[in-house]
Structure 1
Amino acid sequence: MKSLSRLGTRPASLPLAADDVLEFHAARLLLLMRICGTAGRMDGLTKMAKLDFFTRYPDFFEAARAAVEPESQSGSVDSSEAVEASMVRHHYGPWDKRYYQVLAHLEARRLITVSKFKNSYQIALTTEGAEMAKALAKRPSFATLVERQKAVKKSFGGKSGTALKNLIYKLFDEEVGKRTLGQVIMK
């Protein structure tokens, strides 16, 4: 994964996937904290990863929402898009090995703060991070992501990371729970 600033020497004829760009992941996480967090704060890496999982895998989100909220309007989130950035099976469910790099990138740019609270980490937007997330949310290119995150927040924003992890293992044991550690989670 490279920063856009380091791709200047890359030949223009080579395809570039969003998954390869650090800033793409950083923008998605800034939006996740703003939209799915509590007052621009995410309580725990597990919760962040599970909400991000539902954002990145709309088909799994729709299935989980239907299981938890049978009366909800299923299909209101566009799930026709391919998963742009896959996740892997980790000890606590879906995970992205790039999280630490992306969070360090955001913290170094003073867009977030990361602090230890009891046995977990709180990730919070700084004033600059909140302004950046607000600006990103207004861009048409992020409209689908923003709508999906709003739906994820409505359905699962009030749950703890552990509750979300348990829900994912219960509903998606075959697709997530039975995968070997490090194996990519397929759509």
Structure 2
Amino acid sequence: MKSLSRLGFRPASLPLAADDILEFHAARLLLLMYICGTSGRIDGLTKMAKLDFFVRYPDFFQIACAAIDKTSAQPPASDAIESSMIRHHYGPWDKRYYQVLGHLEAKELITVTKHKQSYQIALSALGRETAKALAERPSFQGLVKRQREVKKVFGSKSGNALKDLIYQLFERQVAKRALGQVIIK
């Protein structure tokens, strides 16, 4: 994964996927904290990853909504997976999280603090301003809408509750996958 600032010498003829760009993931996580967090904070990497899973896998989000009888969720505009995740010890995970969170912390957009056995990831004042500006951009409206739905349905649940729900509902797609294997429909 590369930062846009390091792609200046890349030949323009080579294809470049958004999934390969650090800032793509950083923007999504900033918005996740801003929209799905409580006062711009998400308590725990597990909760962050599971909320991100439901944002990135809209078809799984719809199945989970139906399973818990939350009819308020709107059907996704597209059931395409935005960016794949892998099966990790605690369910869906993105091996780039540590790099992206480190990037956001170095840019002073977030703070990461240890609290008991987990980490609290919180927007800084600059992070809140940046996330607010991103949320207002037309290019992020689809993502913002999905994140608002995820917040409405799952925002009050703990990371462990979300992990358990994912393992229960998506046993074949997630729980039975080997560690490190990509999660697919």
What is the TM-score with the length of structure 1 in the denominator? 0.96
Q: Deviations over 1:2-38 (max 9, x none)?
A: 0000111111121111110000000000000000000
Match of 1:94 in 2: 92
CA distance in 1, matches of 2:133, 2:177: 38
Q: Determine what percentage of the aligned residue pairs are the same residue.
A: 72
Q: CA deviation at 1:78?
A: 2.2
Kindly indicate whether the alpha-carbon contact (under 8 Å) linking 1:77 and 1:151 is maintained by their aligned counterparts in 2.
Answer: no
Match of 1:4 in 2: 4
Q: CA deviation at 1:82?
A: 2.1
Quick check: 1:38 aligned with 2:48? no
Q: CA deviation at 1:73?
A: 4.1
SS at match of 1:169: helix
Letter matched to residue 90 of structure 1: H
Match of 1:156 in 2: 154
Taking structure 1 as reference, are residues 77 and 111 closer, same or farther at Cα in structure 2, changes over 3 Å only? farther
CA distance in 2, matches of 1:137, 1:29: 12
Match of 1:23 in 2: 23
Which consecutive residues of structure 2, in runs of 5 or more, have no partner in the other structure?
none
Q: Deviations over 1:83-109 (max 9, x none)?
A: 131000000000000000000000000
Q: CA deviation at 1:81?
A: 4.6
Letter matched to residue 174 of structure 1: R
Q: CA deviation at 1:79?
A: 4.6
Matches for 1:138-177 after TM superposition, within 5 Å: 138-177=136-175
Match of 1:52 in 2: 52
SS at match of 1:100: helix
Runs of 4+ in structure 1 off by over 4 angstroms are: none
Q: Deviations over 1:141-170 (max 9, x none)?
A: 110000000000000000000000000000
Taking structure 1 as reference, are residues 136 and 77 closer, same or farther at Cα in structure 2, changes over 3 Å only? farther
Match of 2:182 in 1: 184
Letter matched to residue 146 of structure 1: V
SS at match of 1:94: strand
Which consecutive residues of structure 1, in runs of 5 or more, have no partner in the other structure?
none
CA distance in 1, matches of 2:64, 2:51: 12
SS at match of 1:89: strand
SS at match of 2:113: strand
Match of 2:119 in 1: 121
SS at match of 1:2: coil
Q: CA deviation at 1:67?
A: 0.6
Letter matched to residue 133 of structure 2: A
**Pairwise CA RMSD of aligned residues?**
1.0
Kindly indicate whether the alpha-carbon contact (under 8 Å) linking 1:78 and 1:144 is maintained by their aligned counterparts in 2.
Answer: no
